[in-house]
Amino acid sequence: MDLIADHISHRFGVLEVLDDVSFAVSAGEVVAIVGPSGCGKSTLLSILGGLLQSTAGTAELRGAPPADSLNPLTFVFQDFALLPWCNVEDNVAFPLSHTGLSAGARGALVDDALRRTGLSDFRATYPKQLSGGMRQRVGIARALAVKPAMLLMDEPLSALDSQTRELLMEDFIRLLADGAMGAVYVTHNLEEAVRLADRIVVLSRRPGRIREVVTIPMTRGQRSDVNARGQLLALQDQLWSLIREEAIDAEREVQHA
């Protein structure tokens, strides 16, 4: 199953947010979207996930999703979006409640998602008892429970401190390793982009247009090697040089709303 952004433009009233954005994400591929604050990254992800109708152009799925997928495109949010009154197990089971699956089948999906995220011992714990990193693992487990073909992630690590971010990046690399699941990964963090993505779509400041698409010429496994650090930093520099001027402009912009 491929996800295609076909000439997507969007405006909120008079505010032009996206301008003619086209790219494709194939099955199992990870595409990062980077760009200055306010350039339309979250808007683009909402359009790709069908939460928002674009003003022009379309987001399209091509090809059949895997047979066991209950929700081919599944979101992971920056603020985790957990239900505070439900424990970990119930949070992860929540999206399965209306699937018509038997209790046994739901339980098996929840067990599998908890195992893959290292949460099996935390089933009865409540979100407020958990660290930020563990809360986001619950968010990821909840997404995995519906067997997505593609995760749509909006700054999933941005609320976390740098050590926790590093650990969750390692989790993502492990979860993506078998190539069964792809992702669109929105971030303003260039290190996350070069560590996780196969390709990086660089957007201009608002209205977001594609400035460049950078391909990372290494497998994710190779990038974990210490010897790859220099090359990854060079890629980060290349991205930063594309974004820097516009990030300065974006930051200095006065909101007239």
Residue ranges binding ligand ADP (CB under 6 A): 12, 15, 17, 37-43, 206
Q: How far is the CB of 14 from ligand ADP (least distance, A)?
A: 10
Burial 62-87 (b: 16+ CB within 10 A, else e): eeebeeebbbbbbbbbbebebeeeeb
Angle at the Cα of 238 (from 232 to 243), degrees rounded to 5?
Answer: 125
Neighbouring C-beta atoms of residue 175, cutoff 10 Å = 17
Q: Shortest distance, CB of residue 1 to ligand ADP, whole angstroms?
A: 25
Counting Cα atoms < 13 Å in the Cβ hemisphere of 202 gives: 18
Told to check if 71 binds Mg ion by CB under 5 A, we report no
Q: Which does 15 bind (CB under 5 to 8 A by kind): Mg ion, ligand ADP, none?
A: ligand ADP
Q: Which does 187 bind (CB under 5 to 8 A by kind): ligand ADP, Mg ion, none?
A: none
Q: Is 55 in the site for Mg ion (CB under 5 A)?
A: no
173-212 positions binding Mg ion, by CB under 5 A = none
Q: Which is nearer to ligand ADP, 135 or 205 (CB)?
A: 205
Residue 233 interacts, among Mg ion, ligand ADP, none and using kind-specific CB cut-offs from 5 to 8 Å, with none
Least Cα distance to 109 among 156, 74, 155, 64 occurs for 74
Residue 56 vs 64, nearer CB to ligand ADP: 56
Residue numbers 11-50 binding Mg ion by CB under 5 A: 41-42
Strands of 2-12's sheet in order across = 15-25, 2-12, 56-62
Name which of 79 and 170 has its Cβ closer to Mg ion: 79
CA-CA distance, 40 to 2, in Å (whole number)? 22
CB of 36 to ligand ADP, least distance (A): 7
Residues that bind Mg ion (CB under 5 A): 41-42
